[in-house]
Amino acid sequence: MKSFKLLGLFVPLLLLAVAFFSPIIDVKANPDPSATEQSLSQAASAVPDTVKTTFTKVYEDIKEGLTGLASGLKVGVTHVYAVLVKQQVVRSVTYVILYLILSITGIVLIRKSYNILKENDSDTEGLGIFLGIAGGVVTVIVLILFTFTIDNTVTGFLNPEYGAIKEIISFVSDKGR
């Protein structure tokens, strides 16, 4: 019963977090591609020639990959980019929900174990030890998951455009192999 109370506490907090971050991650459905090309051109003019050559090559590879992806899906490039940006937010929300569910599960198992072992009943001592170990394993899983996904989670909320560009670059580099 207590776990339902905890869940009732975390669901409004999650909704509050989504409502808070929604204005930050407002993505235009049709961003202006000429403005992007213009800002990239301005950035390219401020760097040495060797970097310009590399930058131009990477930019062309990204543009080619994104265009290929868009044509394969029969949609516009700007639509693909907007979808990829929104997907970064979806991925971040999914990670946060997973963190919460696993954390609550670990806490409930450890508290249940503590209460069982506190009773000093030899019949349920094995169950208490098992629940304590299971709670510890779940807690370790949460910590490992958190360690390896926190950068993507934060990026998805605060800078989803970067995550989308990273995904496009990954797609282009995998396509080139």
For the chain, the domains span 2-8+32-176
How many Å from the N-terminal Cα to the C-terminal Cα in the chain?
Answer: 53
- pLDDT tens for 113-138 read 999 998 888 788 889 899 999 999 99
Is the pTM higher than 0.75? The answer reads no
- pLDDT tens for 20-65 read 455 444 444 445 555 555 555 665 565 556 666 666 666 676 667 6
CA neighbor of 5 nearest in space, from 104, 85, 103, 97:
104
How many angstroms from the chain centroid is the CA of residue 124?
Answer: 40
CA separation for the pair 172, 177 (Å, rounded): 9
For tokens 């403005």, the residue is: 35
List, in order, residues 6 or more apart from 155 with CB less than 8 Å away. 88, 92, 162, 163
